[in-house]
Amino acid sequence: MSSKVKVFSGPNNYNLGKVYFEEIDEILVGVDSGLEYLIDNGMRIDFAIGDFDSIKSEYLAKIKDIAGQMVRLDKAKNMTDLAYAIDFLYNNIDYESIEVYGGIGGRVDHLLANINLLKRYDLKFVDNHNKIFTLKKGTYHIDNTHHYISFFAIEDVFDFSIKGFKYELENYYLGSSDSICVSNEGSGDIAFSKGRLLVIETDDIRF
């Protein structure tokens, strides 16, 4: 049976009760500093993955005790800890879906690296204020759970139609450098005949 994989990653700027709910046969994965978040919330760890360079020593001892499988990476490597973790899961786990908590705030270079992961794998990033995922050609209904929703073309999108949202489009060519679909609102239906679409549901963050 395929399982839903829940990946906890840094930065730990998300509220567990807001983004996560327990499901049968789920697999819990901690990646580097995300492991501290799992331990602080008394959750099990099926896979611990990372170079653990940002883990405090007292957490590292607990991880060794409770992790079902520990995959320790070299500090010098040609991909981020999260990229390695996603590749590891993709090649070793029979899964239904992968949802990543975190990975959005913090360093901009890591955010861009994570956007690149969305180009390679079918997964979703979630934190308190954002949900980011991609769609292949087809017709979809989207129940937007945030204030805004934006659409970007990872690969040029043809015949893009937006219905039911605050702003609508009909058979629009959305190129990869086009930002016309930023800051839409509401829920509705979309359709396109070719390309790859990046969808971002988001809220204003007030400091």
CATH classification of the domain holding 51? 3.40.50.10240
Ranking 14-23, 44-53, 189-198 by mean pLDDT, the lowest is 14-23
Asked if residue 103 and residue 26 are part of one domain, the reply reads yes
Asked if residue 194 and residue 141 are part of one domain, the reply reads yes
Asked if residue 147 and residue 85 are part of one domain, the reply reads no
* Predicted TM-score of the model (pTM): 0.89
- Establish if 89 belongs to a structural domain: yes
pLDDT attached to residue 202:
94
pLDDT attached to residue 207:
53
* Token pair recorded at residue 48: 């611990």
Number of folded domains in the chain?
2
Residue at a domain's end among 80, 113, 128: 128
Asked if residue 161 and residue 112 are part of one domain, the reply reads no
CA pair distance 124, 199, nearest whole angstrom? 10
pLDDT attached to residue 87:
93
Asked if residue 123 and residue 140 are part of one domain, the reply reads no
CATH number of the domain within which 159 lies: 2.60.120.320
Question: Residue 196: which residues within 8 A CB-CB, separation 6 or more?
Answer: 119, 134, 135, 136, 153, 154, 155, 157
pLDDT digits (tens, 9 = 90+) for 92-145: 988 889 999 988 877 788 888 889 999 999 999 999 899 999 999 999 999 999
CA pair distance 2, 4, nearest whole angstrom? 7
pLDDT attached to residue 1:
53
122: domain range? Answer: 3-128
pLDDT exceeds cutoff 80 at 11: no
pLDDT digits (tens, 9 = 90+) for 23-73: 888 999 999 888 998 999 999 999 999 888 878 888 888 998 999 999 888
Helices (H), 20-148: 34-40, 57-66, 81-92, 108-120
- Establish if 207 belongs to a structural domain: no
pLDDT attached to residue 57:
84
Asked if residue 116 and residue 197 are part of one domain, the reply reads no
- Establish if 160 belongs to a structural domain: yes
Asked if residue 178 and residue 165 are part of one domain, the reply reads yes
